[in-house]
A and B are shown apart, each in its own frame.
Chain A
Amino acid sequence: MIEIQSQMTERALELLALQEDVPCFILDIGCGSGLSGQTLEESGHFWIGVDISSAMLSVALEREVEGDMMLGDMGQGMCFRAGSFDGAISISALQWLCNADKTSHSPPKRLFKFFSTLYSCLSRGSRAVFQFYPENSEQIELITQQAMKAGFTGGLVVDYPNSTKAKKMFLVLFTGGHQKLPKALGTEEQQNTGTDHIPYSDKRERMKQIRGKAPKKSRDWILEKKERRRRQGRNVRPDTKYTGRKRSGKF
Protein backbone atom coordinates (compact mmCIF):
# COMPACT_ATOMS: atom_id res chain seq x y z
CA MET A 1 0.00 0.00 0.00
CA ILE A 2 2.78 2.36 0.98
CA GLU A 3 4.73 1.36 -2.10
CA ILE A 4 1.78 2.14 -4.41
CA GLN A 5 1.21 5.52 -2.76
CA SER A 6 4.82 6.56 -3.18
CA GLN A 7 4.86 5.32 -6.77
CA MET A 8 1.76 7.36 -7.55
CA THR A 9 3.29 10.40 -5.88
CA GLU A 10 6.42 10.05 -7.97
CA ARG A 11 4.37 9.78 -11.13
CA ALA A 12 2.36 12.83 -10.04
CA LEU A 13 5.62 14.71 -9.47
CA GLU A 14 6.73 13.71 -12.95
CA LEU A 15 3.47 15.02 -14.41
CA LEU A 16 3.91 18.24 -12.42
CA ALA A 17 6.94 18.96 -14.64
CA LEU A 18 8.75 21.15 -12.11
CA GLN A 19 12.14 22.57 -12.99
CA GLU A 20 14.85 20.01 -12.38
CA ASP A 21 16.78 20.16 -9.11
CA VAL A 22 15.01 23.28 -7.96
CA PRO A 23 13.39 23.08 -4.53
CA CYS A 24 9.73 24.07 -4.84
CA PHE A 25 6.83 24.96 -2.60
CA ILE A 26 4.08 22.39 -3.11
CA LEU A 27 0.54 22.01 -1.80
CA ASP A 28 -0.49 18.44 -0.95
CA ILE A 29 -4.27 18.21 -0.96
CA GLY A 30 -5.64 15.37 1.14
CA CYS A 31 -2.17 14.64 2.51
CA GLY A 32 -3.47 12.04 4.96
CA SER A 33 -0.70 10.33 6.89
CA GLY A 34 2.02 12.15 4.98
CA LEU A 35 3.04 9.33 2.63
CA SER A 36 2.93 11.54 -0.43
CA GLY A 37 4.51 14.39 1.49
CA GLN A 38 7.54 12.27 2.35
CA THR A 39 8.06 11.49 -1.34
CA LEU A 40 7.98 15.25 -1.99
CA GLU A 41 10.55 15.80 0.76
CA GLU A 42 12.84 13.16 -0.74
CA SER A 43 12.84 15.18 -3.95
CA GLY A 44 13.94 18.25 -2.02
CA HIS A 45 10.66 20.17 -2.00
CA PHE A 46 8.91 21.87 0.88
CA TRP A 47 5.23 21.13 1.18
CA ILE A 48 2.10 22.18 3.03
CA GLY A 49 -0.56 19.51 3.47
CA VAL A 50 -4.28 19.86 4.03
CA ASP A 51 -6.49 17.03 5.29
CA ILE A 52 -9.93 16.80 6.84
CA SER A 53 -9.07 13.97 9.23
CA SER A 54 -7.22 14.80 12.43
CA ALA A 55 -6.64 11.07 12.97
CA MET A 56 -4.68 10.82 9.73
CA LEU A 57 -2.72 13.98 10.53
CA SER A 58 -1.79 12.50 13.93
CA VAL A 59 -0.27 9.52 12.12
CA ALA A 60 1.67 11.96 9.97
CA LEU A 61 2.92 13.76 13.08
CA GLU A 62 4.15 10.46 14.48
CA ARG A 63 6.05 9.83 11.25
CA GLU A 64 7.71 13.19 11.83
CA VAL A 65 7.15 14.53 8.37
CA GLU A 66 8.94 17.74 7.51
CA GLY A 67 6.03 19.44 5.82
CA ASP A 68 3.60 21.71 7.59
CA MET A 69 0.07 20.41 7.87
CA MET A 70 -3.35 21.81 8.58
CA LEU A 71 -6.81 20.53 9.28
CA GLY A 72 -9.11 21.70 6.51
CA ASP A 73 -11.94 20.71 4.17
CA MET A 74 -10.96 21.11 0.53
CA GLY A 75 -14.59 21.73 -0.43
CA GLN A 76 -14.58 24.88 1.73
CA GLY A 77 -11.83 26.44 -0.35
CA MET A 78 -8.06 26.69 -0.25
CA CYS A 79 -7.45 29.63 2.06
CA PHE A 80 -4.04 30.78 0.82
CA ARG A 81 -2.72 34.01 -0.66
CA ALA A 82 -2.67 34.37 -4.43
CA GLY A 83 0.28 32.79 -6.23
CA SER A 84 1.68 31.03 -3.16
CA PHE A 85 2.52 27.62 -4.59
CA ASP A 86 4.73 26.30 -7.37
CA GLY A 87 2.48 23.29 -7.79
CA ALA A 88 -0.16 21.12 -6.18
CA ILE A 89 -0.60 17.37 -5.94
CA SER A 90 -3.30 15.17 -4.54
CA ILE A 91 -3.19 11.40 -4.17
CA SER A 92 -6.44 9.45 -3.82
CA ALA A 93 -8.41 12.36 -2.43
CA LEU A 94 -10.36 14.16 -5.13
CA GLN A 95 -13.14 11.58 -5.38
CA TRP A 96 -14.25 12.47 -1.83
CA LEU A 97 -15.51 15.82 -3.09
CA CYS A 98 -18.07 14.05 -5.26
CA ASN A 99 -19.91 12.69 -2.23
CA ALA A 100 -22.43 14.81 -0.42
CA ASP A 101 -21.69 13.97 3.20
CA LYS A 102 -24.21 16.40 4.61
CA THR A 103 -27.59 17.53 3.30
CA SER A 104 -26.25 21.04 2.99
CA HIS A 105 -23.44 19.94 0.67
CA SER A 106 -23.73 20.37 -3.06
CA PRO A 107 -20.85 18.51 -4.74
CA PRO A 108 -20.67 20.74 -7.85
CA LYS A 109 -20.56 23.86 -5.67
CA ARG A 110 -17.89 22.41 -3.41
CA LEU A 111 -15.87 21.25 -6.41
CA PHE A 112 -16.07 24.73 -7.92
CA LYS A 113 -15.11 26.41 -4.64
CA PHE A 114 -12.15 24.08 -4.37
CA PHE A 115 -10.93 24.55 -7.95
CA SER A 116 -11.42 28.31 -8.07
CA THR A 117 -9.56 28.91 -4.81
CA LEU A 118 -6.85 26.46 -5.87
CA TYR A 119 -6.44 28.32 -9.17
CA SER A 120 -5.76 31.59 -7.41
CA CYS A 121 -3.30 30.22 -4.87
CA LEU A 122 -1.15 28.61 -7.59
CA SER A 123 1.46 30.75 -9.28
CA ARG A 124 0.84 31.40 -13.00
CA GLY A 125 2.21 28.65 -15.19
CA SER A 126 2.19 26.01 -12.49
CA ARG A 127 0.21 22.79 -12.52
CA ALA A 128 -2.02 20.72 -10.27
CA VAL A 129 -1.95 16.94 -10.58
CA PHE A 130 -4.62 14.76 -9.00
CA GLN A 131 -4.46 10.99 -8.81
CA PHE A 132 -7.97 9.81 -8.03
CA TYR A 133 -10.41 6.93 -8.27
CA PRO A 134 -13.58 8.02 -10.07
CA GLU A 135 -16.60 5.79 -9.50
CA ASN A 136 -17.95 6.35 -13.00
CA SER A 137 -17.67 8.64 -16.00
CA GLU A 138 -20.26 11.03 -14.57
CA GLN A 139 -17.88 11.81 -11.74
CA ILE A 140 -15.03 12.45 -14.20
CA GLU A 141 -17.36 14.72 -16.16
CA LEU A 142 -18.44 16.61 -13.03
CA ILE A 143 -14.90 17.12 -11.85
CA THR A 144 -13.44 18.26 -15.18
CA GLN A 145 -16.40 20.57 -15.80
CA GLN A 146 -15.91 22.42 -12.51
CA ALA A 147 -12.14 22.57 -13.02
CA MET A 148 -12.56 24.15 -16.47
CA LYS A 149 -15.13 26.56 -15.08
CA ALA A 150 -12.60 27.68 -12.51
CA GLY A 151 -10.15 28.62 -15.27
CA PHE A 152 -7.94 25.55 -15.51
CA THR A 153 -7.04 23.89 -18.80
CA GLY A 154 -5.77 20.34 -19.10
CA GLY A 155 -7.31 16.90 -18.95
CA LEU A 156 -7.12 13.31 -17.90
CA VAL A 157 -4.00 11.19 -18.30
CA VAL A 158 -4.75 7.50 -17.94
CA ASP A 159 -1.74 5.27 -17.29
CA TYR A 160 -2.00 1.61 -18.36
CA PRO A 161 -5.58 1.98 -19.60
CA ASN A 162 -5.74 -1.64 -20.71
CA SER A 163 -4.93 -3.14 -17.35
CA THR A 164 -7.61 -3.16 -14.64
CA LYS A 165 -4.97 -3.63 -11.99
CA ALA A 166 -2.38 -1.10 -13.11
CA LYS A 167 -4.75 1.54 -14.50
CA LYS A 168 -4.32 4.91 -12.80
CA MET A 169 -6.12 8.15 -13.53
CA PHE A 170 -4.38 11.50 -13.21
CA LEU A 171 -6.17 14.79 -13.70
CA VAL A 172 -3.51 17.24 -14.91
CA LEU A 173 -4.53 20.89 -14.72
CA PHE A 174 -2.62 23.89 -16.09
CA THR A 175 -2.91 27.48 -14.94
CA GLY A 176 -0.97 29.12 -17.73
CA GLY A 177 -3.26 28.61 -20.70
CA HIS A 178 -3.56 25.59 -22.94
CA GLN A 179 -0.63 23.18 -22.97
CA LYS A 180 0.01 19.71 -24.37
CA LEU A 181 -1.04 16.93 -22.00
CA PRO A 182 1.80 14.63 -20.90
CA LYS A 183 1.97 11.20 -22.50
CA ALA A 184 0.32 8.40 -20.55
CA LEU A 185 2.29 5.30 -19.56
CA GLY A 186 1.53 1.90 -21.05
CA THR A 187 0.39 3.23 -24.40
CA GLU A 188 3.39 2.68 -26.67
CA GLU A 189 1.28 1.38 -29.53
CA GLN A 190 -0.57 4.71 -29.87
CA GLN A 191 1.35 7.24 -31.91
CA ASN A 192 -0.66 10.14 -33.30
CA THR A 193 -3.97 9.80 -31.57
CA GLY A 194 -3.94 13.36 -30.28
CA THR A 195 -2.62 13.86 -26.81
CA ASP A 196 -5.77 14.76 -25.03
CA HIS A 197 -7.97 11.79 -25.57
CA ILE A 198 -7.99 8.51 -23.71
CA PRO A 199 -5.46 6.29 -25.53
CA TYR A 200 -7.59 3.16 -25.54
CA SER A 201 -10.65 4.55 -27.34
CA ASP A 202 -9.21 4.19 -30.87
CA LYS A 203 -8.41 0.53 -30.28
CA ARG A 204 -11.87 -0.01 -28.83
CA GLU A 205 -13.53 1.43 -31.97
CA ARG A 206 -11.44 -0.82 -34.23
CA MET A 207 -12.36 -3.92 -32.20
CA LYS A 208 -16.05 -2.99 -32.43
CA GLN A 209 -15.85 -2.77 -36.22
CA ILE A 210 -14.07 -6.11 -36.42
CA ARG A 211 -16.82 -7.77 -34.36
CA GLY A 212 -19.47 -6.32 -36.69
CA LYS A 213 -21.75 -5.05 -33.97
CA ALA A 214 -23.60 -1.77 -34.16
CA PRO A 215 -22.29 1.09 -31.99
CA LYS A 216 -24.09 1.63 -28.68
CA LYS A 217 -27.55 3.17 -28.57
CA SER A 218 -28.06 3.63 -32.33
CA ARG A 219 -31.34 2.50 -33.89
CA ASP A 220 -29.63 -0.63 -35.26
CA TRP A 221 -28.35 -1.52 -31.81
CA ILE A 222 -31.85 -1.07 -30.37
CA LEU A 223 -33.40 -3.27 -33.06
CA GLU A 224 -30.75 -5.94 -32.53
CA LYS A 225 -31.31 -5.87 -28.77
CA LYS A 226 -35.08 -6.20 -29.18
CA GLU A 227 -34.55 -9.15 -31.52
CA ARG A 228 -32.24 -10.75 -28.95
CA ARG A 229 -34.84 -10.36 -26.22
CA ARG A 230 -37.60 -11.80 -28.43
CA ARG A 231 -35.41 -14.84 -28.97
CA GLN A 232 -35.14 -15.14 -25.21
CA GLY A 233 -38.89 -15.30 -25.14
CA ARG A 234 -39.53 -11.92 -23.53
CA ASN A 235 -42.43 -9.68 -24.21
CA VAL A 236 -41.09 -6.95 -26.52
CA ARG A 237 -42.87 -4.02 -28.12
CA PRO A 238 -43.27 -4.28 -31.89
CA ASP A 239 -40.78 -2.34 -34.05
CA THR A 240 -42.36 0.72 -35.51
CA LYS A 241 -41.24 3.94 -37.13
CA TYR A 242 -40.94 5.33 -33.57
CA THR A 243 -38.29 2.83 -32.46
CA GLY A 244 -35.02 4.55 -31.62
CA ARG A 245 -36.44 7.92 -32.68
CA LYS A 246 -34.56 10.98 -31.45
CA ARG A 247 -36.32 12.30 -28.35
CA SER A 248 -36.48 15.93 -27.28
CA GLY A 249 -34.27 17.18 -24.43
CA LYS A 250 -36.92 16.39 -21.77
CA PHE A 251 -36.11 12.67 -21.82
Chain B
Amino acid sequence: MKLITHNMLTSKSLKGVNVGFPLKICATEVKEVAVDFNPEFVTRMIPKLDWDALCQAAESLGCLNDLPRSVNPNHENDEEFLKKAHHVLLEVEVIEGELVCPETGRKFPVNEGIPNMLLNEDEV
Protein backbone atom coordinates (compact mmCIF):
# COMPACT_ATOMS: atom_id res chain seq x y z
CA MET B 1 0.00 0.00 0.00
CA LYS B 2 1.49 3.30 -1.07
CA LEU B 3 1.20 6.46 0.98
CA ILE B 4 -0.88 8.10 -1.73
CA THR B 5 -3.54 5.43 -1.13
CA HIS B 6 -3.25 5.83 2.61
CA ASN B 7 -3.88 9.54 2.18
CA MET B 8 -7.27 8.82 0.61
CA LEU B 9 -8.31 5.89 2.80
CA THR B 10 -10.79 6.25 5.66
CA SER B 11 -12.66 3.90 7.94
CA LYS B 12 -15.93 5.73 7.27
CA SER B 13 -17.78 2.55 6.31
CA LEU B 14 -17.64 1.40 9.93
CA LYS B 15 -20.80 2.00 11.90
CA GLY B 16 -20.56 5.04 14.12
CA VAL B 17 -17.49 6.54 12.51
CA ASN B 18 -17.75 10.19 11.46
CA VAL B 19 -14.49 10.97 9.76
CA GLY B 20 -12.27 7.92 10.16
CA PHE B 21 -9.21 9.75 8.86
CA PRO B 22 -6.28 9.54 8.99
CA LEU B 23 -5.71 5.88 9.75
CA LYS B 24 -2.70 5.23 11.95
CA ILE B 25 -0.08 3.05 10.32
CA CYS B 26 1.64 0.35 12.40
CA ALA B 27 3.99 -1.14 9.86
CA THR B 28 6.18 -4.17 10.42
CA GLU B 29 7.56 -4.26 6.90
CA VAL B 30 8.12 -1.33 4.58
CA LYS B 31 9.63 -1.42 1.10
CA GLU B 32 10.96 1.28 -1.20
CA VAL B 33 10.40 0.82 -4.91
CA ALA B 34 11.42 2.84 -7.91
CA VAL B 35 8.57 4.46 -9.83
CA ASP B 36 8.91 6.67 -12.90
CA PHE B 37 8.69 10.31 -11.98
CA ASN B 38 5.68 11.99 -13.55
CA PRO B 39 5.73 15.67 -12.50
CA GLU B 40 2.33 16.38 -14.04
CA PHE B 41 0.64 13.68 -11.99
CA VAL B 42 2.28 14.78 -8.75
CA THR B 43 1.32 18.41 -9.42
CA ARG B 44 -2.31 17.42 -10.00
CA MET B 45 -2.48 15.28 -6.88
CA ILE B 46 -0.98 17.79 -4.45
CA PRO B 47 -4.13 19.95 -4.02
CA LYS B 48 -6.16 16.79 -3.26
CA LEU B 49 -3.85 15.51 -0.57
CA ASP B 50 -4.13 16.05 3.15
CA TRP B 51 -0.55 17.25 3.54
CA ASP B 52 -0.41 16.97 7.34
CA ALA B 53 -1.66 13.41 7.24
CA LEU B 54 0.96 12.65 4.62
CA CYS B 55 3.78 14.07 6.74
CA GLN B 56 2.50 12.20 9.78
CA ALA B 57 2.36 8.93 7.88
CA ALA B 58 5.79 9.45 6.35
CA GLU B 59 7.22 10.24 9.76
CA SER B 60 5.74 7.11 11.33
CA LEU B 61 7.45 5.10 8.60
CA GLY B 62 10.69 6.93 9.07
CA CYS B 63 10.89 8.29 5.56
CA LEU B 64 9.98 11.92 6.17
CA ASN B 65 13.58 13.00 5.45
CA ASP B 66 13.45 16.60 4.32
CA LEU B 67 9.89 16.76 3.02
CA PRO B 68 8.59 20.26 3.83
CA ARG B 69 5.78 20.40 6.39
CA SER B 70 3.75 22.81 4.33
CA VAL B 71 3.11 22.94 0.63
CA ASN B 72 4.96 25.54 -1.39
CA PRO B 73 2.27 27.60 -3.23
CA ASN B 74 4.50 27.64 -6.29
CA HIS B 75 5.01 23.89 -6.28
CA GLU B 76 4.37 23.33 -10.00
CA ASN B 77 7.77 24.74 -10.85
CA ASP B 78 9.68 23.43 -7.89
CA GLU B 79 11.05 20.18 -9.25
CA GLU B 80 12.98 19.31 -6.10
CA PHE B 81 9.80 19.55 -4.08
CA LEU B 82 7.85 17.48 -6.59
CA LYS B 83 10.55 14.80 -6.59
CA LYS B 84 10.43 14.55 -2.80
CA ALA B 85 6.64 14.39 -2.88
CA HIS B 86 6.80 11.73 -5.59
CA HIS B 87 9.14 9.65 -3.48
CA VAL B 88 6.94 9.75 -0.40
CA LEU B 89 3.68 9.24 -2.26
CA LEU B 90 4.57 6.52 -4.74
CA GLU B 91 7.87 4.96 -3.80
CA VAL B 92 7.23 3.95 -0.20
CA GLU B 93 5.08 0.88 0.31
CA VAL B 94 3.74 -0.72 3.47
CA ILE B 95 3.99 -4.46 2.93
CA GLU B 96 2.99 -5.88 6.32
CA GLY B 97 1.35 -4.17 9.25
CA GLU B 98 -1.92 -2.72 10.42
CA LEU B 99 -4.04 0.36 9.87
CA VAL B 100 -5.88 1.60 12.95
CA CYS B 101 -9.12 3.56 12.89
CA PRO B 102 -8.65 6.80 14.91
CA GLU B 103 -12.20 6.70 16.29
CA THR B 104 -12.87 3.05 17.13
CA GLY B 105 -9.38 1.54 17.27
CA ARG B 106 -10.47 -1.17 14.85
CA LYS B 107 -7.44 -2.71 13.15
CA PHE B 108 -7.25 -3.39 9.43
CA PRO B 109 -4.45 -5.85 8.61
CA VAL B 110 -2.10 -5.26 5.69
CA ASN B 111 -0.69 -8.37 4.01
CA GLU B 112 1.58 -8.45 0.97
CA GLY B 113 0.93 -4.77 0.52
CA ILE B 114 -2.84 -5.24 0.40
CA PRO B 115 -4.95 -3.73 3.20
CA ASN B 116 -7.95 -5.82 4.19
CA MET B 117 -10.87 -3.41 4.49
CA LEU B 118 -13.55 -6.10 4.63
CA LEU B 119 -16.00 -5.40 7.44
CA ASN B 120 -17.90 -7.91 9.52
CA GLU B 121 -21.69 -7.93 9.23
CA ASP B 122 -22.15 -6.19 12.57
CA GLU B 123 -19.78 -3.36 11.68
CA VAL B 124 -21.55 -2.13 8.58
Contact = CB atoms under 8 A, between A and B. Distances in A.
A196 to B, nearest CB: 31
A81 B8 contact: yes
A70 interface: yes
Given A48-B5, A66-B35, A102-B121, A79 B11 contact: yes
Interface of B: 1-2, 4-5, 7-13, 20-21, 35, 38, 40-41, 44-45, 48, 50, 90, 112-119, 121, 124
A72 B117 contact: yes
The B contact surface, by secondary structure, is: loop
Contacts of B44: 22-25
Nearest to A23: B41
Interface in A38-89: 44, 46, 48, 50, 52, 54, 57-58, 61, 66, 68-73, 76-81, 83-85
Given A23-B44, A46-B41, A83-B48, A71 B114 contact: yes
23 contacts: A23-B38, A25-B48, A46-B4, A46-B90, A61-B114, A68-B2, A69-B113, A70-B1, A70-B9, A70-B117, A71-B118, A72-B117, A73-B119, A76-B124, A77-B12, A78-B13, A79-B9, A79-B20, A81-B8, A81-B50, A83-B48, A104-B121, A113-B124
Contacts of A78: 13
A117 interface: yes
Contacts of B5: 48, 68, 70
Given A22-B40, A48-B5, A71 B20 contact: no
Contact of B119 (A76, A104, A121): A76
A76 B41 contact: no
Contacts of B11: 79
Interface of A: 22-25, 44, 46, 48, 50, 52, 54, 57-58, 61, 66, 68-73, 76-81, 83-85, 102, 104, 113, 117, 121, 123
Nearest to B6: A68
Contact of A76 (B2, B13, B45, B48): B13
A78 B40 CA distance: 26
A77 B13 contact: yes
A117 B2 CA distance: 22
Given A70-B116, A80-B8, 6 more contacts: A58-B112, A72-B118, A77-B13, A77-B124, A80-B9, A121-B8
Contact of A23 (B40, B114, B119): B40
Given A70-B5, A71-B115, A79 B10 contact: yes
A69 to B, nearest CB: 6
A48 B81 CA distance: 24
A123 B44 CA distance: 13
Contacts of B45: 25
Contact of B13 (A25, A79, A104): A79
A209 B27 CA distance: 68
Most chain A beta carbons < 10 A, residue from B5, B20, B50, B90: B5
A72 B11 CA distance: 12
Contacts of B50: 81
A44 B36 CA distance: 11
B8 A48 contact: yes
A175 B40 CA distance: 24
A79 B12 contact: yes
Nearest to B13: A77
Contacts of A79: 9-13, 20, 117
